[in-house]
Chain A
């Protein structure tokens, strides 16, 4: 089981297929811009909604990114080959999700200060926002992978993916937005942050396994 080999292979695949990262990111900024420009709320009010908006946009960005997580390899037969021959298919899925997270969740976390600025969130909230994103986005990638695995076989899978994944994402949205709101109000945000960490842990233990099983089912549907 060559972990580093697996990781470098996935990384190179990501780099080769840059669109899969850039497209969701473009959406992210577009959505943020739209909110900033189109929102009728005044400057000191945007701080109240900024947290929720940020997380909502992050959720949608993730869904965009997840749609293509397995699709290519599913279509060209590579996925079937890998899952049947790999010693631990679970690890393959985990590494892929990790790399996807690097291209979405982590990237968004690093861009958080800029996003907060654009969304009208006060500077006091930036640190908490980054922390919330860092703790919460892994859950999005891990749980989203389950949805992606289940819908990769369907041509119109996008809607179904959203439907399956929405209930799983919602707690992350709720606690993530709450964390940012607490920070905006100069209150302690430890509780929602702890919940985010817990959910991500849970997602880590359940997600890759469920995704692997889902892929096996999807492959049989062909």
Chain B
């Protein structure tokens, strides 16, 4: 199936619902395995940092959370663009699905960052580029959430969220690069996709596992929520009713 055909097919929530099941299961299993391995590896087997000691281990949850939180928002921004240009309903379903977990992850990133900072640098909170940008990300999420609560009409709510998500997404790189410039408390990014990390493999391998595990979990979560949202929106249609009845007959 070509890309164009795939894009066309995405116009049908029903098709998406059907093909997404194996992916949900797959991502879920992958997440389970990777996170379980990652947790154990990070807690027990990764070497403690020379300067920071064991509090350094918090990085293995803080960084994946922060990365996934940011990626989810950017995903929402891209979906917003798709919604505006192609009027694809599924894009709004995607945004709806990303919101709860994204907010939670951002809060987790802030919490774990504070918990990391307290024993390591003495403060729960410091106003620098990275912390500010994560806080801003939280507000970006909350803004979309509040906006969605205020608008009842599904289509308009979708377009409004899409617009805010797009504008917010443009904000993210601005904030990102402020870290490179800002000489502060926060340590420079220790993990990027293209650059060679400044950590030895024994340290960044578990991080990689945790990051991928977190992303898999996010994908599982988002897809699950998308499927639920599709059922909700299409609850009056024949195929959903048949599905529901079939399940009842079976269980």
Q: Do A and B bind each other?
A: yes
Find residues 158-197 in chain A having any chain B CB closer than 8 Å to their own CB.
Answer: 160, 163-164, 166-168, 170-171, 174-175, 191, 195
Cβ of B23 under 8 Å from chain A? no
Q: Once the chains bind, are B170 and A202 in contact (CB under 8 Å)?
A: yes
Interface string of B145-187 (1 = CB under 8 A from A): 0110011010010011001101110110011001001000000
Cβ of B24 under 8 Å from chain A? no
- Interface size for A (C-beta < 8 A) is 26
In the assembly, what is the distance between CA of A167 and CA of B135, in Å? 8
Cβ of A154 under 8 Å from chain B? yes
Say how far B100's CB is from chain A's closest CB, in angstroms: 17
Which residues of A are found within 8 Å of B156, using beta-carbon distances? 217, 220-221
> Which A residues lie at the B interface, using CB under 8 A?
143, 146, 150, 154, 160, 163-164, 166-168, 170-171, 174-175, 191, 195, 198-199, 202, 206, 210, 213-214, 217, 220-221
Q: Once the chains bind, are A164 and B147 in contact (CB under 8 Å)?
A: yes
In the assembly, what is the distance between CA of A213 and CA of B163, in Å? 8
Say how far B102's CB is from chain A's closest CB, in angstroms: 14
In the assembly, what is the distance between CA of A58 and CA of B6, in Å? 49
Q: Once the chains bind, are B174 and A199 in contact (CB under 8 Å)?
A: yes
Q: State the 8 A-B residue pairs at the shortest beta-carbon distance, nearest first.
A: A167-B139, A167-B136, A164-B143, A167-B140, A163-B143, A170-B136, A210-B167, A217-B160
Query: CB-nearest residue of chain A relative to B144?
Result: A164
Besides the known contacts A171-B174, A213-B84, A217-B159, 14 further A-B residue pairs in the complex with CB atoms under 8 A apart: A146-B163, A160-B146, A167-B171, A168-B167, A168-B168, A170-B132, A170-B135, A170-B139, A202-B174, A206-B167, A214-B163, A217-B163, A221-B151, A221-B153
> Which B residues lie at the A interface, using CB under 8 A?
84, 129, 132, 135-137, 139-140, 142-143, 146-147, 150-151, 153, 156, 159-160, 163-164, 166-168, 170-171, 174-175, 178, 181
**Sampled A-B contacts (30; CB under 8 Å):** A146-B163, A150-B160, A154-B150, A160-B146, A163-B142, A163-B146, A164-B146, A166-B139, A167-B136, A167-B139, A167-B140, A167-B171, A170-B136, A170-B175, A171-B174, A171-B178, A174-B129, A174-B132, A175-B178, A206-B167, A213-B84, A213-B163, A214-B163, A217-B156, A217-B159, A217-B160, A217-B163, A220-B156, A221-B153, A221-B156
In the assembly, what is the distance between CA of A164 and CA of B141, in Å? 9
User: Which of B137, B153, B168, B178 sits near A174, CB closer than 8 Å?
Assistant: B178
Most-contacted residue by chain A among B135, B143, B146, B166 (CB, 10 A): B143
Which residues of A are found within 8 Å of B150, using beta-carbon distances? 154, 160
In the assembly, what is the distance between CA of A191 and CA of B146, in Å? 35
Say how far B22's CB is from chain A's closest CB, in angstroms: 37
Which residues of B are found within 8 Å of A214, using beta-carbon distances? 160, 163
In the assembly, what is the distance between CA of A182 and CA of B168, in Å? 28
Query: CB-nearest residue of chain B relative to A191?
Result: B181
Query: CB-nearest residue of chain B relative to A210?
Result: B167
Say how far A197's CB is from chain B's closest CB, in angstroms: 12
Knowing A195-B181, A221-B151, the reply to whether A150 touches B163 (Cβ < 8 A) is yes
In the assembly, what is the distance between CA of A212 and CA of B160, in Å? 12
Q: Once the chains bind, are A195 and B178 in contact (CB under 8 Å)?
A: yes
In the assembly, what is the distance between CA of A181 and CA of B140, in Å? 27
Knowing A164-B143, A171-B178, A217-B160, the reply to whether A206 touches B151 (Cβ < 8 A) is no
Q: Once the chains bind, are B166 and A210 in contact (CB under 8 Å)?
A: yes
Q: Once the chains bind, are A206 and B170 in contact (CB under 8 Å)?
A: yes
In the assembly, what is the distance between CA of A109 and CA of B217, in Å? 49
Most-contacted residue by chain A among B84, B136, B153, B166 (CB, 10 A): B136
In the assembly, what is the distance between CA of A168 and CA of B181, in Å? 19
Q: Once the chains bind, are A150 and B147 in contact (CB under 8 Å)?
A: yes
User: Which of B139, B147, B171, B181 sits near A160, CB closer than 8 Å?
Assistant: B147
